[in-house]
A = this chain, B = another copy of it.
Amino acid sequence: MKIKLNENFKNVSESYLFSTINKKVAEYKEQNPNAPIIKMGIGDVTLPLPKIVIDAMLKATREMGEIDTFRGYPPEWGYTFTKEAVQKYYKNYNVSLTLDDIFISDGAKTDVSNILDILGHNEVYITSPVYPVYIDSNTMNGNSIHIIEGNKGNRFLPLPVGLDNSAKVIYLCSPNNPTGASYTYDELKMWVDYAKSTGSLIIFDSAYEAFIEDKNIPHSIFELEGARECALEIGSLSKSCGFTGVRCGYTIIPANLEINKIWKRREATKFNGVSYVTQRAAEQALSPEGVKACQENIAYYKRNAKALAECFDELGIFYTGGHNSPYIWLECPNGMKSWDFFDFLLTKANVIGTPGVGFGGEGYFRLTSFNTYENTLEAIERIKKVLKK
């Protein structure tokens, strides 16, 4: 074949993170077949969908089997009933959205990467450590990427300090994956003000907002004045409602922005909308009763996160997250590198986590709260045992 390919793919770094982890664990298991391994690297929810959501899906499925209630192509931008559910959900945070601001997606990952279709080649600013999709999708698009470093000094919450005044595309994720760090209103306001004054666009990833409990942490960037002039928000039901296998998210692009119209055209051409059954599930999950049910699952994960945080408090190890987040991001003890600590925990405590270097954070390590409470407590006991002097 002689056609031209997208040469930018050659610059996308292959991620061997999880395959390397799997390989190391398999090797260890072969040598230690009875090792009671606990996986604390799980990045996916583990609790089933609440009954109220299942019931909505069953009802919608039955409708698809009857001629009078069968539904064909969904609207590309989402059913009105789903958009209204998102609209009402945002009212919980005192954010007023019009239905025109809201797009229903098959997941945050899809929209946070496809959004580049409607943009030109801008300078892209990405805080690090980071969800690899921002970097990889921009690399595929041939964009010039600048890393804004998160570190112990800024508690992994870099601020717009020392940046030039050119218009740029800025990715922010709060509560952050992988660090769990969350911007306060005051901090996020600095970003909104900076974006407004420079004509920049903030792509705000709110996938973990349902884990927030502190009053001074915004759930949506649109809680901040001025955000409607400079931001779009990518929302997900994956972690908030356990929808990782159901596939539904939403994207908020203020209708006052020109990119709203362009995104509409993009979606009408390159997307055919989200499954009817899934949208009925989302409608129910975002309702007051649905949110209550989903929050019970989140409370379970947060209890795990809290136990992990208390463990590292006790050990005197620096970390972010563990609070307002399912993740805890810790400094590897004794100056260990990420992979060295991975090997240490695997062999000494039979606990598996994720080396921070895989997200761009050498010397750090991510543990998650998606295992059972019992396993989490057992993992904590073992971690304490091997790390206590």
Identify the A interface with B (CB < 8 A): 1-7, 9, 12, 44-51, 53-54, 57-58, 61-62, 64-67, 69-74, 106-107, 109-110, 113-114, 117-122, 132-133, 136-137, 140, 167-169, 198-201, 229-230, 238, 244-247, 257-259, 262, 265-266, 269-278
B245 touches A275 (CB 8 A): yes
Query: Bound state CA distance, A246 and B50, in angstroms?
Result: 22
Contact A114 B2 (CB under 8 A): no
- Which among B47, B70, B109 is the interface contact of A270 at CB below 8 angstroms? B109
13 more A-B contacts (CB under 8 A) besides A6-B120, A58-B58? A1-B201, A1-B257, A1-B258, A3-B200, A5-B258, A5-B262, A9-B118, A48-B66, A72-B244, A107-B272, A109-B271, A140-B270, A275-B278
Q: Which residues of B contact A198 (CB under 8 A)?
A: 2
Cα–Cα, bound, A88→B58 (Å): 28
Bound-complex Cα distance A272 to B262 (A) = 23
A295, chain B: closest CB distance, angstroms: 17
Alpha-carbon distance between A107 and B107 when the two chains are bound, in angstroms:
15
With a cutoff of 8 Å between Cβ atoms, the chain B residues found around residue A72 in the complex are 44-46, 244-245
Task: State A9–B4 Cα separation when bound (angstroms).
Answer: 22
> Shortest 6 CB-CB distances between A and B: which pairs?
A2-B199, A4-B120, A2-B167, A44-B72, A54-B65, A113-B270
Task: Known contacts A54-B64, A110-B270, A270-B114; decide if A246 and B259 are in contact (CB<8 Å).
Answer: no
- Taking a contact as CB atoms under 8 Å apart, the answer to whether B62 and A49 are in contact is no
- Smallest CB separation, A357 vs chain B (Å): 19
Which residue of B48, B122, B137, B269 contacts A67 across the interface (Cβ within 8 Å)?
Answer: B48
In the bound complex, residues from chain B placing their C-beta under 8 Å from that of A49 are: 64-65, 70
- The distance in angstroms between the C-alpha atoms of A358 and B291, with both chains bound, is 45
Please tell me if the beta carbons of A65 and B51 are within 8 angstroms of each other in the complex: yes
- Nearest chain B residue, comparing its CB with the CB of A247: B275
The answer on a CB contact under 8 Å between A269 and B54 is no
A-B contact pairs, 27 of them (CB 8 A): A1-B258, A3-B200, A3-B201, A5-B118, A5-B258, A9-B266, A44-B72, A48-B66, A48-B69, A51-B65, A54-B62, A57-B61, A58-B62, A61-B277, A64-B246, A73-B245, A74-B247, A107-B272, A109-B271, A109-B272, A113-B270, A136-B269, A137-B270, A140-B269, A245-B276, A246-B275, A275-B278
Q: Please, which residues of chain B bring their CB within 8 A of the CB of A61?
A: 54, 57-58, 61, 277
With A113-B270, A136-B269, A247-B274 as known contacts, state yes or no: A3 contacts B46, CB within 8 Å.
Answer: no
How long is the Cα–Cα vector from A67 to B137 in the complex, in angstroms?
Answer: 34
Q: Is the CB of B230 within 8 A of A1?
A: yes
Collect the chain B residues with CB atoms within 8 Å of residue A169's CB: 3
Contact B199 A57 (CB under 8 A): no
Contact B265–A9 (Cβ < 8 Å):
yes
Known: A5-B262, A117-B6, A119-B5. A275 touches B275 (CB 8 A): yes
Are B70 and A64 neighbours in the complex by a CB distance under 8 Å? no
The residue in chain B whose Cβ has the minimal distance to the Cβ of A106 is B106
A231–chain B nearest beta-carbon distance, Å: 10
Question: For the complex, what is the distance from the CA of A62 to the CA of B48, rounded to whole Å?
Answer: 10
Which B residues lie within 8 Å of A64 (CB)? Answer: 48-49, 54, 57, 245-246
> Which residues does chain B contribute within 8 Å of A245, judged by CB atoms?
64, 70-74, 275-276
Query: Is the pair A120, B272 in contact by a Cβ cutoff of 8 Å?
Result: no
